[in-house]
Amino acid sequence: MLELVHVGKSYPSARDQDGVRVLKDISLKVEKGQSLVIVGPSGSGKSTLLNIIGALDRPTSGQVLFDGRDLAGLDETELARIRNRQIGFVFQLHHLLPQCTVLENVLVPTLAGGKRSSAAETRDRAVELLDSVGLKEFLVRRPGELSGGQRQRVAVIRALINRPKLLLADEPTGSLDREASENIADLLIELNRSEQVTLIVVTHSLGLAGRIGHVMELREGMLTGGSS
Ligand SMILES: Nc1ncnc2c1ncn2[C@@H]1O[C@H](COP(=O)(O)OP(=O)(O)O)[C@@H](O)[C@H]1O
Ligand SMILES: [Mg+2]
pLDDT at 226: 60
Q: Where are the domains of the chain?
A: 2-10+25-96+144-227
Centre of ligand 1 from the C-alpha of residue 45, in Å: 6
Q: What is the pLDDT of residues 53-65, one digit of tens each?
A: 999 999 999 999 9
Instruction: Give CA torsion, residues 203, 205, 209, 211, to 10 deg.
Output: -130
- Give the Cα separation of 161 and 195 in Å (integer): 10
What's this model's pTM, rounded to 2 decimal places? 0.93
Q: Give the CA diameter of the chain.
A: 56
pLDDT at 60: 95
Q: Where are the beta strands (DSSP E) in the chain?
A: 2-11, 20-30, 35-39, 61-66, 69-70, 87-90, 166-170, 198-203, 214-219, 222-227
Ligand 1 pocket check for 11: Cβ under 6 Å:
yes
- From the options 3.30.70.1090, 3.40.190.10, 3.40.50.300, 3.90.1150.10, give the CATH code of 2-10+25-96+144-227: 3.40.50.300
Report yes or no: 59 and 2 within 8 Å, Cβ to Cβ. Answer: no
Centre of ligand 1 from the C-alpha of residue 58, in Å: 14
pLDDT at 227: 47
pLDDT at 228: 41
Q: What is the pLDDT of residues 71-111, one digit of tens each?
A: 988 999 999 889 988 999 999 887 999 999 999 999 999 98
- Give the Cα separation of 123 and 179 in Å (integer): 30
pLDDT at 3: 96
Ligand 1 pocket check for 152: Cβ under 6 Å:
no
Below-70 pLDDT ranges, the chain = 113-116, 226-228
DSSP 102-163: HHHHHHGGGSSS--SS-HHHHHHHHHHHHHHTT-GGGTTS-GGGS-HHHHHHHHHHHHHTT-
Q: What is the crossing angle of helices 119-132 and 148-160, to 10°? A: 140
Ligand 1 pocket check for 46: Cβ under 6 Å:
yes
Q: How many residues does the chain have?
A: 228
What atom of ligand 1 comes closest to residue 44's alpha carbon? 22
Ligand 1 pocket check for 44: Cβ under 6 Å:
yes
What atom of ligand 1 comes closest to residue 204's alpha carbon? 22
Centre of ligand 2 from the C-alpha of residue 8, in Å: 17
Residues around ion ligand 2, judged by CB within 5 A, are 46-47
pLDDT at 209: 81
pLDDT at 113: 67
Report yes or no: 88 and 167 within 8 Å, Cβ to Cβ. Answer: yes
Ligand 1 pocket check for 134: Cβ under 6 Å:
no
Centre of ligand 2 from the C-alpha of residue 44, in Å: 8
CA-to-CA dists, residue 26 to 22, 142, 163, angstroms: 11, 41, 27
